[in-house]
Amino acid sequence: MNIQALLSDKVSQALIAAGASADCEPQVRQSAKPQFGDYQANGVMAIAKKMGMAPRQLAEQVVALLDLTDIAARVEIAGPGFINIFLDPVFLANQVNAAVACERVGIAKVSRPQTIVVDYSAPNVAKEMHVGHVRSTIIGDATVRTLSFLGHNVIRANHVGDWGTQFGMLIAYLEKQQNENAGEMALADLEAFYREAKKNYDEDEAFAARARGYVVKLQSGDEYCRQMWRKLVDITMTQNQLTYQRLNVTLTRDDVMGESLYNPMLPGIVADLKAKGLAVESEGATVVFLDEYKNKDGEPMGVIIQKKDGGYLYTTTDIACAKYRYETLHADRVLYYIDSRQHQHLMQAWTIVRKAGYVPQSVPLEHHMFGMMLGKDGKPFKTRAGGTIKLSELLDEAMERARRLVAQKNPEMNAAELENLAHAVGIGAVKYADLSKSRTTDYVFDWDNMLAFEGNTAPYMQYAYTRVLSVFRKAGIEESALTSPVIINEDREAALAARLLQFEETLNVVARDGTPHVMCAYLYDLAGLFSGFYEHCPILSAESDAVRQSRLKLALLTAKTLKLGLDTLGIETVERM
Ligand code: ARG
């Protein structure tokens, strides 16, 4: 049920009947305060201005024409022309009754599913995933889950950094390792592997010469080099796959669409941009000059798409990649989860993409950027020695802390149950801490905050869910035995019901903006409303069986909504904690 859409529609109809244009925007929003009703239409003032009418007068006409029979109990005009709508408790009761009976809590799949490509995670080969990739992975996956739940056709694109001149030295080093270790090697420590390869390259001239030779050979498709390259990609992605599993992230090996995928397209792109007059030769390189961006001297910025030595750049790949996502994957929309430092890079690539006509304006290319992960001292998140924090170690620590915490709280639980719970809480805490913050800002990584059982945290939300379930356990009633309808008499019941019915609106915001923190805030608010309801509206000792059943239904819908909501975030729930 999308109440906002329903009310928007009704208010629009009234506005049109009052003489407003057919495309008028009533701007119906969830009200900020209870005294403004459940929803408020804010658009009347602007529309009245366009019509040359007094806002208050238009508002009065709209209210007279507005037909909200069986939907609203009361409609009021406030201030210069806000329209406040108070929903009818009977309407709320009927909607809750319908939603609770349905597995998707009344949320239909979109009528026109889009093909949406989501570019996220994107680690680099032979390198440990760093914190930037962690944010991309976690936030991107929550958005993917939300879009899928709404029925879109989502393509997960893991734009792995699997190409570049560094592969010469990596292949040379892998070869050296294999020779020394009789064949096999695990690349167990990716960071050390990369570091050692670089060291050899810098210090050993013969090694460096071999490495440079391998770059050329790899680019020309030499079988031995291809094989070694594939091995590096394979070992890296096998390790990353374990991390995805541990993080409860939906990416699979099939989602890898690395930079190398676009190699065959690059010569054609450069030739085409030249033919279109967009790219020119400049000091031996091929460059696109963009008026939209100025360099230090105020001149159009030159974006290199092919180097003097013939090599292509990260930008060239991203131009080809956007084209591929539109032409070959038939994307209606493309989202990129990449940290904010790459914003300029993307904007330049996409400016070229648009100018060349590779992706029409009707297909949005969206940079869903995010800030950095900071330590408690406000500086970039690093180990004490100043190194990058390994994701696997971070997750080990999360598990360790969660184990201690849950064991202390649940002395009666057996080992297997505790381990399961520690996993849900530990991994959930790391993910939720990231998801619950607006992604555009930097965020401070703080163990104590994320593992607290109070506040907008994973443990609190997971615990809130188990509390609702325990209401049922105590009532000893099966879901199927709840046969009487929902009745809403108390304000707290109405407030909880209205919020429950806003789940779909929340999903739509996350789907539109790619901002899972909006879902976290919603679920947190919902859990708070449930607490208030539970405290003031007795369930087990309700005055009648009808009221008890009705309240159990409200509790049931709360449980289902919390679970589905946490699912869209990739946060696991448990039955007991
Ligand atoms: N591998 C890149 C990095 O680690 C991120 C790639 C993001 N996706 C893209 N289409 N450029 O910075």
- For residue 499 and ligand 1, the question of a CB distance below 6 A is answered with no
- For residue 325 and ligand 1, the question of a CB distance below 6 A is answered with no
- For residue 318 and ligand 1, the question of a CB distance below 6 A is answered with yes
Burial (0-12, 13-18, 19+ Cβ within 10 Å), 178 = middle
Handedness of CA 395, 400, 406, 412 (dihedral sign): positive
- Provide mean pLDDT across the span 41-61: 95
- For residue 321 and ligand 1, the question of a CB distance below 6 A is answered with yes
Q: Across the beta sheet with 285-294, what order do the strands follow?
A: 279-282, 285-294, 300-306
User: 191 alpha carbon to ligand 1 midpoint, in Å?
Assistant: 18
Pocket perturbation via mutation, ligand 1, pick of 125, 159, 315 by most ligand atoms within 8 A of CB: 159
Q: What is the pLDDT of residues 407-431, one digit of tens each?
A: 999 999 999 999 999 999 999 999 9
Confidence of residue 322 (pLDDT cuts 50, 70, 90): very high
Please name each of the domains of the chain with its CATH number: 3-87 (3.30.1360.70), 115-161+261-367 (3.40.50.620), 166-248 (no CATH), 391-569 (1.10.730.10)
User: 70 alpha carbon to ligand 1 midpoint, in Å?
Assistant: 52
- For residue 136 and ligand 1, the question of a CB distance below 6 A is answered with no
Closest CA to 299 of 291, 288, 311, 287: 291
Handedness of CA 570, 428, 575, 248 (dihedral sign): positive
Residue 89 in contact with residue 70, Cβ under 8 Å? no
- For residue 161 and ligand 1, the question of a CB distance below 6 A is answered with yes
- For residue 200 and ligand 1, the question of a CB distance below 6 A is answered with no
Half-sphere exposure at residue 488, Cβ-oriented, CA atoms within 13 angstroms: 23
Alpha carbons 143 and 129: distance in angstroms, whole number: 20
Q: State the pLDDT at residue 184.
A: 56
Q: What is the pLDDT of residues 467-509, one digit of tens each?
A: 999 998 999 999 999 999 999 999 999 999 999 999 999 999 9
Q: Does the pLDDT value for residue 328 go beyond 60?
A: yes
Q: Whose CA is nearest to atom 11 of ligand 1?
A: 318
Mean pLDDT, the chain, integer: 94
Q: What is the pLDDT of residues 130-152, one digit of tens each?
A: 777 899 999 999 999 999 999 99
Residue 468 in contact with residue 575, Cβ under 8 Å? no
Q: Any idea what the Cα angle at residue 383 is, between residues 378 and 385, rounded to 5°? A: 110
